[in-house]
Chains A and B, each alone.
Chain A
Amino acid sequence: MIDPLVSRGRMVAVHCVVQLGILLTLTWKWTYFKWSDNLHEKITLADPFFPDWLESADVVRYAYLISLAVIVVNIVSWEKYLTRLCNYVTLACLSVLLIHQASYNDATFTTAWWACVWSVWYGHHMDDPDRIATLDRGAFLSRAMMSMVLLGGAVGKWTPEYWNGDVLYDIYFRDRNFWMFNYLRNTFEPDQLRVIATWYSRKVVAIETICGFGLWLLPSRLAALIGLLVFTSIAIFSNIYLFSVMFALMGIAAVGLFVVKRPTHQLDLEA
């Protein structure tokens, strides 16, 4: 018998939020991708490292457009078999984008891919009888994925060039045209700016390390709120284009907000 405490609408809403996150992730840099598409046709690179089909401008274009179309269908669909099919097609398209010559470097497709893996799993369980347990498991997977992504960022920064701020100074503070770095350049002397870059970089390493190790251990709602705060702040204080990477993570972070506590009498009976 289906759990009466959680409606199917709630289960579908969770899936829609994650799909919406992936959709926003893919469309945030729409203008850039449109410009890129034109350029990939005009400038081609024959690299023996990649198979020919993964250098094709047509392949990257259709993988991208099909994934967008299928996500839209997925969001408006309430039919479970269609949902599952859409999830598999999206995962296949994102897998191509993850290894295509024109898109392999864009973390947009890494976070979208993991959010889609979550969706594939959830698509098979959103109609399970014990909906509370399904939401619990979904929230755990979302916390584990958020921790994994942040830890992935942290581990690669455990190196002197990040601890002394060299890398982020050169990428952001030296000449990046973004509101915060423009403000800091206009306000502080170059030697002060270099010190600020060092502490900015250390702050990034510390937050990613702490959240990477700790987020998955927190209660679902708290982890969801911290995740949403961290991912939003990364984009607002570094680079607005980073929302293309963050929206998918924000989508899976939001899963924790949908978790329902099991009533006490059920817990007693379980014990």
Chain B
Amino acid sequence: MSVNGAPPKRPRDLSYRVVCGMIIAVVVWMLLMPFVPSVAMSTMRRFHLASDSFVLWCVQQPVPSMYNFANQFHARKTPLGFPETILSLDDQEVGDDWRYINHFPTRRLTFADGRYDLLRYSKNQWLEFKTTYRGQELNSLIHAKPVGPGEYEVIRKEIAEDSP
């Protein structure tokens, strides 16, 4: 309190404005998503690790996006177009149908539980990812190619957008 009992006048707080500005920017971006297809597609590409640049992807990372979009994945033993049933089943445990996943479908490959499920045998693995949101769709196919014991190279085979 100042001498006369009134609260002291606060100096301008630039950091407060910066944090408020960050929150406003994120909220505006999120609210544009249902109405501006390119904003939604940018987040869908973020989820598929397919942003135009790594910097653009990093800038979006603080945007909260828990359980966003309808994300699906499908793990294949064979390349796309090659019938899986021709090959005899081996001890490799992969999903035999499309399953939904909360966000970032590529986590199926990169997060620890996914690496364990799909990559512990050092064999080729093809993963299809599909994300849909209000009429837009993004499909991608990733080949995890073994290059050594426990070492994989990630090869993006195909990325296809479908917007209204």
Residues of A within 8 A of B (CB): 1, 3-4, 32, 35-36, 39-40, 42-51, 98-99, 101-102, 104-107, 110-111, 113-114, 117-118, 120-121, 124-125, 128-130, 132-133, 137, 141, 144-145, 147-149, 151-153, 155-162, 166-168, 170-171, 204, 245, 262, 265-266, 269-270
Contacts and interface: CB of A to CB of B under 8 A. Distances in A.
Given A4-B1, A46-B154, A105-B111, A171 B23 contact: no
Nearest to B7: A130
Contacts, number: 185
B89 interface: no
A117 B8 CA distance: 26
A73 to B, nearest CB: 22
Interface string B108-147: 0111100110011000000000001110000000001001
- Chain B: number of interface residues, binned into ranges: 35 or more
Interface in B7-57: 7-8, 10, 13, 15-16, 19-20, 22-23, 26-27, 30-31, 33-34, 43, 49-50, 54, 57
Contact of B112 (A40, A107, A130): A40
Give the dominant DSSP class at A's interface.
helix
A102 B109 CA distance: 10
Nearest to B9: A130
Contacts of A161: 70, 100, 132
Given A137-B13, A151-B31, A270-B7, 13 more contacts: A40-B115, A45-B154, A46-B153, A48-B154, A49-B154, A99-B58, A104-B104, A105-B104, A107-B103, A133-B7, A155-B33, A156-B69, A167-B100
A159 B134 contact: yes
A104 B101 CA distance: 15
Contacts of A125: 13, 15-16
A171 B101 contact: yes
A144 B100 contact: no
B86 interface: no
Given A35-B112, A107-B66, A49 B34 contact: no
B164 interface: no
Nearest to B154: A47
